[in-house]
Amino acid sequence: MLDVQAIRKDFDILGREMRGKPLVYLDNAATTQKPRVVIEALVEYYRNYNANIHRGIYYLSELATEKYEQVREKTARFIGAPDPATIIFTRNTTEAINLVAYAWGRQYIEPGDEIVLTEMEHHSNLVPWQLLAQEKGARLRHIGITEDGRLALDDLDEIITERTKLLSITRMSNVLGTINPVKPLIDRAHAKGAICLIDGAQGVPHLPTEVLELDCDFLAFSAHKMLGPTGVGVLYGKREWLERMPPFLGGGDMISRVWLDRATWNKLPWKYEAGTPNIADVIAFGAALDYLEQIGMEAVRAHERELTAYALEQLSRVPGIRIFGPRHVEDRGGVISFDLEGVHPHDIGQLLDAEGVAIRAGHHCCQPLMERLDVSATARASFYIYNTEEEVDRLVEAVRKVERVFSRAVN
């Protein structure tokens, strides 16, 4: 079990007040807070060894290069990838998915090919494939969702077929909290000759992840959703694909030799990292990985499971509440979307803010899912390692207050 009180001491921001009340930060699916060690790693780089990497033959540059490349090794270890060269640093999950859509997609997708997605995908895992399909004359197919927010797998044989070239799905929904059964889906897609990308933006920060076990061809995730800084994303790819695909962006660092009219490419992983990368933030991400590794991802999951079960139980007693997503806590992560009868989610968000409780309200970059749920928006609370049952109580108390205010206004 986590020592949550000890963990909280590492996050100065959690001690501050919001609107005159102790802050309850429940917007972790959007971005998490950063422990002091991460902030210090960032400052330490700028203060003590700021230099560009892979270029200098002087000490500072060598040190910065070493620290940057060490994080690649840590990242590989964190997701069970045996080869650090299969880890590409990007700006975020969005850029990692776009990298595959451009580099792999434009090489391997042909007219009539099918790309399978789901109705619960984030815009980041919808729009890049829409652009690709429009350009190439490919067809998008979508796995639907059930009433309780799980993937509808009954008609899968009609959706994943010999025409499928790519299956790209989220490990965990940022709206419903649903943890998808990605492994059997990956196996099924492979059996039809398709490749698989997993959007791990919500999965990797909250669940133990082993890419070899999953056997996914690509995995994308963001550092800022797992205690790290903004501006760092990760793309893991199987070496065979990364070798075969053309580069995504052209420029410095990604080349081996350049002539006026052509160029050859650098080795992996640098072939996909054009220009000066986000050195400081990658290095600070290393401190975030160390922090999570020390806690252990099984313990992270266990803590969130417990907190989510408690929150579901408490919230479900609020009059007029509708909670989206699977009923069973085993099938979901620490994300709870809800609405209150007769109250717009933005009003819920605003009134909770007045109580010092930070949640997100909106479509969460999942407009097609909102349509499927027949809502324009939801209110969403999402947890991480530093959240407590007392904070869930504050959330529930604040939601009850909203309900009372609005039911009085109506009656």
Residue numbers of the site for ligand C6P (CB under 6 A)? 29-30, 92-94, 122, 124-125, 170, 174, 199, 201-202, 222, 360, 364-365
365 annotated active-site: yes
* Shortest reach from residue 263's CB to ligand C6P, in Å: 29
* Shortest reach from residue 362's CB to ligand C6P, in Å: 8
* Shortest reach from residue 371's CB to ligand C6P, in Å: 17
Nearer to ligand C6P, 107 or 350 (CB): 350
Nearer to ligand C6P, 222 or 266 (CB): 222
Nearer to ligand C6P, 64 or 300 (CB): 300
* Shortest reach from residue 203's CB to ligand C6P, in Å: 8
Provide the CA 262 distance to its chain's centre, in angstroms.
36
Nearer to ligand C6P, 33 or 174 (CB): 174
* Shortest reach from residue 326's CB to ligand C6P, in Å: 16
Measured distance between the N- and C-terminal CA atoms of the chain, rounded to whole angstroms: 46
* Shortest reach from residue 320's CB to ligand C6P, in Å: 25
Nearer to ligand C6P, 173 or 266 (CB): 173
Longest dimension (CA), the chain: 76
* Shortest reach from residue 367's CB to ligand C6P, in Å: 11
Q: How far is CA 350 from CA 211, 245, 358, 399, in A?
A: 40, 46, 9, 11
Nearer to ligand C6P, 170 or 209 (CB): 170
Nearer to ligand C6P, 64 or 292 (CB): 292
Which residues are catalytic, by number?
365
